[in-house]
Structure 1
Amino acid sequence: MTALLTAAVLLVGALCVLNLVLTVGVIRRLREHTELIQNMPRMQPPEQIMLPAGETVGPFTAVTEDGTEVSRDDLAEETLVAVFSPTCSACAEQLPLFLDRARSFPGGRANVLAVVVGGREEAAAQAEQLAPVARVAIEDHGGPVAKALDVRGFPAFARLTADGRVLASGYRTDDLGVPVAA
């Protein structure tokens, strides 16, 4: 019986030592991972999210949610453009800021175009928020407006002239030089 008790104690002791060794190994790996994560470069959006200032937008035609066809030829003297995606967290952050700028943009809703890239069901909520201040088109990835603007990420914003020249562009509404109404 003593031999059995001694064997059990040795087995429990061995298991405790093994558990301690494994725990120390896991802690060491967690410290290595923490250091790697802290030293990772922060994810930055591309330097040019879409066509830069001075470039000209390619031709496009899209149908807005209210059934109106819009094209590059329909641009106003100055048009505010936004391209959003319903799956983009930065889009959710920038959407209220864009809405503020769009409300006070010269020419109102007729001079603001918003594109939501994604399936109709997933894009519906953003399209509904944008509709009071912009003509809204929903298109698939690689759709005509995003392609004409050379959109490389979301969100993407631009101010365009009537002939399609980009006055300003960026991934933040602040990049556009459009003030917010007081």
Structure 2
Amino acid sequence: MTAVIALLRAVNVAGRTVPAARLRQIAERLGHRDVVTHVNSGNLVLVPAPGSGGPDDVAAGLAAALEADLGFVVPTIARSRAQWDAIVAANPFPDQAEADPSHTVLICWDGVPDAARVVALDPSAYGNELVVWHDREAYAWYPDGIGRSKLTLDVLQRASGLLGTGRNWRTVTALQALAAERDG
């Protein structure tokens, strides 16, 4: 089995705390191995348990186990290492990501956004941000900073009609390295 990167949405904010040690324990109880977290904000890399299915199945299993253990819904999105490598390679903002990885963001969706919906979004209406939609991901560049931007994840979710979670480019590449270590 190849490594899987799982992203939890909206944890360790607004009282929805999921300590990294507990997250690892929950994943290990499902039979996943070589489980590691990256920063305490809902990033998990693991080798899936035999028979656990593909990344979407791993995400669904983790989400169900987290809800049962924690008592609240924890939306989870997962990608295989191969998918993650392709996502990194497809980054339309490589120069920005290299120069300023904290302002380059990957948003992973729980499905494929409808092209007509996302074309209707004009990022310039929100500021200087740029957004490129690609398959089940979107790439955003926030030249003036994410915290001040009006082009929030909620705006992008409404545009896509899907649930998503974002990570800055520094986290994206750290997760890629952790997945590569698990695959040996």
Please report the TM-score for the alignment, with normalisation by the length of structure 2: 0.24
**Comparing both chains, which one has the higher relative contact order based on Cα–Cα distances under 8 Å and sequence gaps of 6 or more?**
1
Please report the TM-score for the alignment, with normalisation by the length of structure 1: 0.24
Larger radius of gyration, structure 1 or 2?
1
